[in-house]
Structure 1
């Protein structure tokens, strides 16, 4: 099974080291890892470093299970699209990226499966440029999922979606991680969704890792006060997941 471990990882923007000291235990295939932290904490920078888009110190240890797959796939926060393609064409191109261009029935079936699960089949033949922000985000999620990588880096993949769609998308990604044995790292601001779906939580603040581990070991009232500057408590819900209450209001 695939495993990913970060060893004292850092990232440069120009000559400035903006992220440093990121060390994790082995992250295992099938796990959802929520990467949390305040704005400008370094979450996007960390993802770009893991994806190979930025340089920096430290190491990335990745044990791959299938050398024919794209090992790491990265969905950036900016999902704007200028290409003159339909939704379906863009997802098909993502599926075949880095592999032979021949398309077989298995490719088409999996693309259809992902599009149906994300409820974007009705817009399959619309141009990317005609989509709303939320629709573009769903298409970007589909483009990442159909690559079936060992590791998915998803930078705020649900930020433009309403609550119902957020739960749909995160539930599907959770199921795909389990089924395919992928590691899914999701940068997310909604701590309730992190508590609901994540197997581990990686907390970053001021460009450094503060904690990495079980969600309830990381997301604590003391951490929320220190990092986010809010007084909050963690409560168990009747639906078997925990949520954050800030000043008597669910965050």
Structure 2
């Protein structure tokens, strides 16, 4: 099963150091890991550094990558839209990047499967530019998954989705990670989503990794006060699920 590890990883834009010396234990496949922190904490930059889109200090190691699978795929928060391509064409283009342009029956079957799994088959021949923000986000997920990554970095993949679609996507990704042994890192602002769906959580703030580990051990009243500046509790609901309840600003 794939595993990802960061050792003293840093990144900067020009002379501005965004973060430095971020190290993690092995993040193993089969589960979702949440990346949380306040706005402008460097979550997107960390994903770009892991994906190799930015240079910086330190080492990113991916082990046990299977033949035919791509080590890392990054799904950015702002996916943009190209009105020239249909949804189907955009996913096919993503599938063929770096692997030649010959299209096999298996490529088309995989696209059909993803469209069906994400419940967007009806969008297949719509122009990307005609889609809503939420629809484009679902297409971006299909574009990422069709590349068959071992490590998938998802930058706020539910930010434009309604509540039903948020739950649907997170449940789908949790099942997929378990079934495929994929390591999925998801930047989230909704901490209750992290508590419900992510077994591990990383907290980044002020250019540093402040905490990492089991989600229930990381999302605590002390962390919420220090990082998010709110007075909050973590309590179980009537069904036994942990929830963050915010009482006010700290």
TM-score by length of structure 2 reads 0.95
Deviations 1:153-211 (A, max 9, x none): 10000000011100001111111111111100100100000111101000000111001
**Aligned equivalent of 1:21:** 21
**Aligned equivalent of 1:209:** 209
**Aligned equivalent of 1:65:** 65
Deviations 1:28-84 (A, max 9, x none): 111211000000011001001011111111111111322432211001111211251
Map residues 45-194 of structure 1 onto 2, 5 A cutoff: 45-82=45-82, 84-194=84-194
Larger mean Cα displacement after TM superposition, 201-210 or 96-105: 96-105
Report the aligned-residue RMSD.
Answer: 1.4
Tell me, in whole angstroms, the C-alpha distance in 2 between the residues paired with 1:176 and 1:103. 25
Q: Secondary structure at the match of 2:126?
A: coil
Tell me, in whole angstroms, the C-alpha distance in 1 between the residues paired with 2:68 and 2:62. 15
Q: Secondary structure at the match of 1:231?
A: strand
How many residues get paired? 248
1:228 Cα deviation after fit: 0.5
Structure 1 segments of 4+ aligned residues over 4 angstroms from their partners: none
Q: Is the 8 A contact 1:70 1:98 kept in 2?
A: no
Q: Is the 8 A contact 2:65 2:71 kept in 1?
A: no
Deviations 1:205-251 (A, max 9, x none): 01110011000110001110111011111122344532111129xxx
Tell me, in whole angstroms, the C-alpha distance in 2 between the residues paired with 1:240 and 1:93. 44
Deviations 1:109-139 (A, max 9, x none): 2222211121211111000011111111111
1:26 Cα deviation after fit: 0.2
Larger mean Cα displacement after TM superposition, 13-22 or 37-46: 13-22
Cα distance, 1:214–1:128 mapped onto 2, change above 3 Å: same
Tell me, in whole angstroms, the C-alpha distance in 2 between the residues paired with 1:170 and 1:107. 25
Q: Secondary structure at the match of 2:189?
A: coil
For structure 2, the 5+ residue unaligned runs are: none
TM-score by length of structure 1 reads 0.95
**Aligned equivalent of 1:242:** 242
Q: Is the 8 A contact 1:64 1:150 kept in 2?
A: no
Q: Secondary structure at the match of 2:230?
A: coil
Tell me, in whole angstroms, the C-alpha distance in 2 between the residues paired with 1:64 and 1:84. 38
